[in-house]
């Protein structure tokens, strides 16, 4: 009886092997991209707390941009995956067109912030910080250059996500390795002025990133031209979009956009309030902790992609009962996976004194405490990401909008402002307390998923729109 009950909650080993076959390359790609960031942080940390803080406050702008891009890819990916399961080439191309068109809008906003009003926006990130002016001087120098990396970042993200959504996860991994090697080399050359080049410091880090992103974009484009995947389009195809389908994707995507951008906004506000609890040591320490934590945050992309691909293709093939069973297997597996990632997260504490030895003691102490706290939250975070992936696999984007809307607007924002202005709590304590809200998210999402609004075959529902 126990074995039978266990089989209801956990799938066979072959099922999880298939899930890992999808997840591991995605996680490896994210890990490589994270290593780029960690290498940047390691090299820039040698310039001191202030210069590292300047680079890292710009990271919040890039973070919001990437959330916007990834949201666009999630919206288009809901349909890309199901059309892939239904072997509908035209539908896949329409989903790809949606990503490109929305990506152009994202680029316009990113350029405006980076090149038009960088100091004004960055100033919000260090409001109340005792070394704000010095940090802003470094941040402005960096962001005016990194703004030029937006277009290659968009194109690479759209192509890479599309390959993952049709189950081809190895190519993005290999291309990311190439980009990482390029970025690391030019960081070494340009930040410190090796091989006869001028010592450019913060500006050198930005130029190295631009070069790496350009190499990544060109490699992706060449790969698409050679392999000709089903989602591949020509320039003229952008003018042949099916507006009925685009409107449907945008309708569902709008809910994802609201959910993700509200989350990004709250993360940005909370980060700004953390940064106001001291000087450059707080900014650099908090930023350094996320550079380390991103090594185990790769679990989120892995569980999300595996869940989306497995459920999306099963739903697209019309096997709804099978999808219901796989949903339980994936969610329960996410708990185990999250616990494993929590243990790995604890091990990354060993990296703090090695990677950030050039930072002040206070910065390293803040970094260590934050990494420990984030590792403890990993099981909950992996699980809630899996819940969101389940709902979006079947086009139920309303769940994320409602869950994030309720918790962020009515709990996170009031809570963080209360702690910032009514208590003397330090940044780490503030972070730990505000993240308890994620357990409320899990509870609401669990109730919502029981309604099974996600259990739909979108490929069949939208066949007429594509034809």
Using H for helix, E for strand and C for coil, what is the string for 5-44? HHHHHCCCHHHHHHHHHHHHHHHHHHHHHHHHHHHHHHHH
pLDDT at 359: 80
pLDDT band at 462, cuts 50/70/90? low
CB 15 within 8 A of CB 250: no
Q: Model confidence over 80-137: pLDDT tens digits?
A: 887 888 888 888 899 899 999 999 999 999 999 999 898 898 888 787 776 888 888 8
Of 146-155, 393-402, 445-454, minimum mean pLDDT range: 393-402
pLDDT at 467: 46
pLDDT band at 461, cuts 50/70/90? low
Q: Compute the distance between CA of residue 75 and CA of residue 44 in angstroms, rounded to an integer.
A: 35
Q: Which residue has the higher pLDDT, 87 or 337?
A: 337
pLDDT at 396: 85
pLDDT band at 138, cuts 50/70/90? confident
Predicted structure pTM score: 0.76
Q: What percent of the chain has pLDDT over 70?
A: 93
Q: Compute the distance between CA of residue 186 and CA of residue 57 in angstroms, rounded to an integer.
A: 22
pLDDT band at 200, cuts 50/70/90? confident
Question: DSSP string spanning 329-364?
Answer: HHHHHHHHHHHHHHHHHHHGGGGHHHHTTTS-HHHH
Structure tokens at 465: 């729109």
Q: Compute the distance between CA of residue 54 and CA of residue 44 in angstroms, rounded to an integer.
A: 10
Structure tokens at 399: 């769940």
Q: Which residue has the higher pLDDT, 302 or 340?
A: 340
Question: DSSP string spanning 56-114?
Answer: HHHHHHHHHHHHHHHHHHHHHHHHHHHHHHTT-HHHHHHHHHHHHHHHHHHHHHHHIII
Q: What percent of the chain has pLDDT over 90?
A: 37
Q: Model confidence over 250-265: pLDDT tens digits?
A: 887 778 888 888 888 8
Averaged confidence pLDDT in the chain: 86
């Amino acid at each position: 009886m126990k074995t039978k009950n266990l089989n209801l909650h956990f799938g066979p080993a072959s099922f999880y092997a298939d899930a890992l076959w999808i997840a591991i390359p995605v996680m490896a790609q994210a890990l490589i991209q994270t290593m780029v960031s960690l290498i940047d942080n390691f090299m820039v940390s040698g310039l001191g707390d202030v210069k590292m803080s300047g680079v890292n406050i710009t990271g919040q702008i890039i973070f919001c941009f990437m959330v916007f891009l990834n949201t666009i890819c999630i919206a288009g990916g809901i349909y890309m995956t199901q059309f892939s399961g239904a072997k509908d080439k035209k539908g896949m191309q329409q989903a790809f067109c949606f990503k490109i068109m929305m990506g152009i809008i994202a680029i316009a906003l990113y350029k405006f912030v980076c090149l038009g009003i960088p100091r004004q926006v960055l100033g919000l990130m260090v409001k109340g910080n005792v070394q704000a002016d010095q940090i802003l001087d470094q941040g402005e120098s960096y962001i005016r250059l990194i703004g030029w990396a937006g277009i290659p970042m968009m194109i690479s993200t759209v192509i890479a996500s599309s390959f993952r959504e049709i189950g081809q996860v190895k190519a993005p991994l290999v291309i990311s390795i190439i980009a990482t090697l390029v970025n690391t080399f030019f960081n070494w050359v340009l930040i410190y002025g090796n091989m006869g080049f001028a010592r450019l410091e913060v500006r050198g880090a930005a130029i190295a990133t631009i070069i790496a992103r350009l190499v990544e974009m060109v490699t992706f484009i060449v790969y698409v031209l050679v392999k000709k995947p089903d989602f591949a389009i020509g320039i003229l195809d952008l003018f042949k979009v099916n507006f009925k389908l685009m409107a449907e994707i945008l309708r569902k995507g709008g809910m994802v956009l609201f959910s993700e951008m509200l989350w990004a906004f709250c993360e940005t506000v909370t980060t700004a309030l953390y940064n106001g609890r001291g000087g450059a040591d707080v900014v650099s320490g908090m930023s350094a902790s996320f550079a380390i934590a991103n090594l185990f945050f790769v679990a989120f992309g892995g569980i999300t992609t595996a869940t989306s691909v497995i459920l999306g293709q099963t739903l697209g093939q019309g096997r709804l009962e099978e999808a219901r069973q796989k949903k339980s297997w994936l969610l329960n597996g996410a708990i185990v996976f999250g616990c494993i990632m929590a243990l790995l997260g604890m091990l990354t504490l060993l990296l703090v004194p090695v990677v950030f030895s050039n930072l002040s003691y206070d910065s390293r102490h803040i970094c260590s405490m934050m990494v420990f706290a984030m590792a403890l939250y990993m099981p909950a975070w992996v699980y809630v990401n899996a819940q969101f992936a389940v709902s979006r696999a079947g086009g139920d984007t309303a769940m994320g909008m409602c869950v994030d809307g309720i918790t962020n607007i009515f709990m996170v924002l009031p809570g963080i402002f209360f702690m910032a202005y009514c208590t003397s709590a330090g940044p780490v304590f503030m972070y730990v307390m505000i993240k308890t809200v994620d357990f409320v998210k899990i509870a609401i999402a669990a109730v919502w998923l029981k309604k099974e609004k996600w259990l739909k075959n979108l490929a069949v529902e939208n066949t007429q729109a594509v034809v």
